[in-house]
Structure 1
Amino acid sequence: MLDFANGYQAYQNTSVEGKAAGADIHKLVLMLFDGFLDELARVEGHIQAKRFDKKAAGTERMLKILGGLEASLDQQNGGEVAANMQRLYQHCGQAVLAASLKNDLSQLDTVRVIMTNLQEGWQGLAQNAA
């Protein structure tokens, strides 16, 4: 029997890799924000449905994305902006962990607001750079 879930995951991975290969830094960061917010919605669904194994896997993916966002910061030239972004990413990571440990959706609401605001800021930067 075919495993459609694995096939779809392979398709998504290939699609994302293809997009990333031709993307500039603004697009790559926006892809990370998109992936994070998509995963956040899935984790909320897993918490509500009590699929805790899938919640844990989604939480891990969200933390890895936050790590990628943090790694993309230019600490040497970014000054106070980079330091503030780092603190926001770390705050979101702590809130994601707390939400996962307590199955607390309200913590994820706060993270969604922060990450959506940051995403919108990056979208504005990308538009201005174009």
Structure 2
Amino acid sequence: MFDTGYSAYKNTAVEGRAAGADVHQLVLMLFDGFLEELERAIGHINGRRFDRKAHSVEKMLRILGGLEASLDLDKGGELANNMARLYDHCGQMVLQASLRNQVEPLDNVRQVMTNLQQGWKGIGSQG
């Protein structure tokens, strides 16, 4: 019961933040959500809660899809294409970790996504 209420509260809070956010803030929210879910997935793998792991993996892949959809490949040129390749790489590593029930592939994903998140934060502080 508490979990359902908390989830509803959390979804409402996220929706409220997203409603007033600009594109830059939305991308940062996606990075935050991805990294939070990655930590949950690691916990689920370590705890052998594979049904919950599957939900976390699905959520991470949806977030990666949202990040990739936010790219403007026409105007973004090489940078946008490189970002798309990084998102694809992370998606492949997430799937590999899920199929093998191993957390090691997620270490690389965490590093890549944290670096990208920090870069986006740096862009925001310049503007």
Aligned to 1:95: 93
Identity of aligned residues (%): 64
Query: What stretches of structure 1 move > 3 A for 4+ residues in a row?
Result: none
Deviation by residue 1:103-130 (Cα, 9 ceiling, x = unmatched) = 111100000000000000000011111x
| Local SS of the residue matching 1:50 | coil
The CA RMSD over aligned residues, in Å, is 0.4
| Local SS of the residue matching 2:18 | helix
Aligned to 2:77: 79
Tell me the distance in 2 between the aligned counterparts of 1:128 and 1:6: 39
Aligned to 2:39: 41
Gaps of 5+ in 2: none
Deviation by residue 1:24-71 (Cα, 9 ceiling, x = unmatched) = 111100000000000000000000000000000000000000000000
The TM-score, its normalising length taken from structure 1, stands at 0.97
Equivalent residue letter for 1:75 = L
Equivalent residue letter for 2:85 = R
The TM-score, its normalising length taken from structure 2, stands at 0.99
Aligned to 1:128: 126
Gaps of 5+ in 1: none
Number of equivalenced pairs: 127
Tell me the distance in 1 between the aligned counterparts of 2:35 and 2:99: 19
Equivalent residue letter for 1:79 = G
Tell me the distance in 2 between the aligned counterparts of 1:76 and 1:13: 33
Aligned to 1:30: 28
Aligned to 1:105: 103
Equivalent residue letter for 1:19 = R
Q: CA deviation at 1:76?
A: 1.1
Tell me the distance in 2 between the aligned counterparts of 1:98 and 1:12: 29
1:60 pairs with one of 58, 79, 102:
58
